[in-house]
Amino acid sequence: MKNTVISVDHLTKQYDLGVIGTGTLTRDLNRWWAKLRGKPDPYTRIGQRDHFERAGESILALDDVSFSVNQGEALGIIGKNGAGKSTLLKILSRVTAPTSGVLKVKGRIGSLLEVGTGFHPELTGRENVYLNGAILGMRKDEVDRKFEEIVDFSGVEKFIDTPVKRYSSGMYVRLAFAVAAHLDPEILVVDEVLAVGDAEFQKKCLGKMGDVASEGRTVLFVSHNMGAIRQLCQRAILLNEGKIIQDGSSENTIDKYFSKAREISGRLIKTHITKCHSDVEINEISVNGSNVDEINLSQDNRKIKIEVEGILREDVMIDIEFRLSDRFDNVLALFAPGYFENDRKITNKGKIKIQRTAILPKGIQAGQYYLDIFLTDPNYHGWVDIPKAVLIHHLGVTSPTGKVIHKNSRNGWIYLEEEV
């Protein structure tokens, strides 16, 4: 039987909007007296809405959230900014209380929620390590045994006896994570603060969190780095506007996250343009005859035909190229015929229609892929950038038995056929 260490039941957190209180008792009494007499708020600034008009406005940071986490499980929590991820972790870490609902936690929690959490700026790194150990309920001899390991992992040996207020944000995070991970919490809660650290340290942190989970302890990890979520967590939940809209395997939840992001974006390919030179105007872009930003491909339909219509304000050299990438921004293929042609020609100003057709290789696994489209002067510079212009749903290869192999970290993205 699985041992549940975190149980969240119908959790809700409501925040009132606007400034609560003026900061002094005298001003609060003046405000109350003005409201009692039907007068406007005396402390409302020019251009602001009256405080009394905003009274009662609130937002649900979490809305009826329920889930459970078992011992030894690594759970990823993903969602766009403002979805409620950090609020959930703060409630789990007992930093703030829920408005309603029940939270049950079994075991000691080590939290790393933001830069400086649990650190006193006037104390040295050494003193803060022992302070955090005391907060977690550890005895001094227990912290003594872990101290050298913490300092070695953090890489701040030189500065361990310096007040942490003089640390850079990266040093702060390195020591804070080392403390949270090494003081033997049964549950490790980590927010997106690892983004402050360098790539090497992030890799160390992911490895350490993997070790923590493999030792039978529980990890809750919030991140916008989907590669890190996929690497560390077998399960993930997706939050949107304070509600859980997906709870399942990391692969499926990440797919849902990207699908949700596409719903928010424009539906026309040209709405994804992020860079366009003043000499170029784009009127229409289509892939396989469609100007919509999603298409389906299969083993029998491997063609990608890109057509661009627009106006050139000067005579320029311009051609189409594209990159095929996965949802983690790993580039899988490049189509750039202009780089390999000797007859680079100038396109005259005025109305233009450029088209290029590429054939994808056989054996592409089922999954979602992104098409990044560019208009370039080959070997020189770019005119137009359209990252993630089209989401491709590839149906993959179907074996004689009817089995379809899906793209993932184990299977890669191309299935190789045997020579007959």
The per-residue pLDDT for range 335-358, each reduced to its tens digit, is 888 776 655 678 899 999 999 999
Is the domain of 318 the same as that of 232? no
Counting the structural domains of the chain, the total is 2
Q: What is the mean predicted confidence (pLDDT) over 6-24?
A: 79
**Are 322 and 301 contacting, i.e. CB atoms less than 8 angstroms apart?**
no
For residue 259, CA distances in Å to 252, 253, 295, 371, 393 come to 10, 10, 13, 15, 11
Residue 218 phi/psi, 5-degree rounding, is -105, 140
Is the domain of 296 the same as that of 211? no
Is the domain of 280 the same as that of 257? no
Is the domain of 231 the same as that of 310? no
- Residue 417's pLDDT is 67
For residue range 224-260, list pLDDT tens digits in order.
877 778 778 889 999 998 999 999 988 888 878 877 7
Q: Exposed, middle or buried by CB within 10 Å (0-12, 13-18, 19+), for 296?
A: exposed
* Dihedral sign from CA coordinates of 8, 10, 16, 21: negative
Two tokens at 94?
A: 């007992």
For the chain, what percent of residues have pLDDT higher than 90? Answer: 23
CATH of residue 166's domain is 3.40.50.300
- Residue 1's pLDDT is 46
Is the domain of 303 the same as that of 242? no
Q: Is residue 2 part of a domain?
A: no
**Are 372 and 334 contacting, i.e. CB atoms less than 8 angstroms apart?**
no
Q: Is residue 186 part of a domain?
A: yes
Q: Is residue 362 part of a domain?
A: yes
For residue range 311-327, list pLDDT tens digits in order.
999 998 898 999 998 87
Residue that finishes a domain, picked among 242, 262, 282: 262
Neighbours of 210 (CB within 10 A): 15
Is the domain of 116 the same as that of 224? yes
Which residue do the tokens 């040996």 mark?
157
Could you write out the DSSP letters of every residue in 177-195?
A: HHHHHHS--SEEEE-GGGG
Residues forming beta bridges with residue 390, ordered by sequence position? 371
**Are 49 and 71 contacting, i.e. CB atoms less than 8 angstroms apart?**
no
For residue range 377-392, list pLDDT tens digits in order.
876 778 999 998 998 8
Q: Exposed, middle or buried by CB within 10 Å (0-12, 13-18, 19+), for 82?
A: middle
Q: Is residue 350 part of a domain?
A: yes
Neighbours of 339 (CB within 10 A): 12
Is the domain of 253 the same as that of 286? no
* Dihedral sign from CA coordinates of 237, 242, 245, 251: negative
What's the pTM value of the predicted model, to 2 decimals?
0.64
For residue range 290-315, list pLDDT tens digits in order.
888 888 887 777 889 999 999 999 99
28 in helix, strand or coil?
Answer: helix
Amino acid occupying residue 67: F
Q: Is residue 60 part of a domain?
A: no
**Are 372 and 322 contacting, i.e. CB atoms less than 8 angstroms apart?**
yes
Q: How many CA atoms lie within 13 A of 183 on its CB side?
A: 30
Neighbours of 385 (CB within 10 A): 17
Distance from C-alpha of 378 to C-alpha of 369, rounded to nearest angstrom: 24
**Are 367 and 392 contacting, i.e. CB atoms less than 8 angstroms apart?**
no
For residue range 166-209, list pLDDT tens digits in order.
988 778 878 888 887 777 778 888 887 665 566 677 777 778 88
- In 345-409, the DSSP E strands lie at 350-359, 367-377, 381-394
Is the domain of 279 the same as that of 258? no
Is the domain of 367 the same as that of 255? no
Q: Exposed, middle or buried by CB within 10 Å (0-12, 13-18, 19+), for 323?
A: middle
CATH of residue 373's domain is 2.70.50.60
Is the domain of 134 the same as that of 192? yes
Amino acid occupying residue 210: G
Q: Is residue 326 part of a domain?
A: yes
Mean pLDDT of the chain: 82
Distance from C-alpha of 397 to C-alpha of 419, rounded to nearest angstrom: 17
Q: Is residue 38 part of a domain?
A: no
Is the domain of 193 the same as that of 297? no
- Three-state SS annotation for 230-285: HHHCCEEEEEECCEEEEEEEHHHHHHHHHHHHHHHCCCEHHHHCCEECCCEEEEEE
Residue that finishes a domain, picked among 221, 237, 262: 262
Least confident piece of the model among 20-29, 92-101, 292-301:
20-29
Neighbours of 172 (CB within 10 A): 25
- Residue 40's pLDDT is 75
Which residue do the tokens 């708020």 mark?
41
Is the domain of 174 the same as that of 312? no
Distance from C-alpha of 377 to C-alpha of 383, rounded to nearest angstrom: 7
Q: How many CA atoms lie within 13 A of 346 on its CB side?
A: 7
For residue range 85-95, list pLDDT tens digits in order.
888 988 988 88
Distance from C-alpha of 41 to C-alpha of 50, rounded to nearest angstrom: 6
Amino acid occupying residue 149: E
Two tokens at 69?
A: 């986490």
Q: Which domain holds residue 327?
A: 269-394
Residue that finishes a domain, picked among 262, 281, 306: 262
Q: Is residue 187 part of a domain?
A: yes
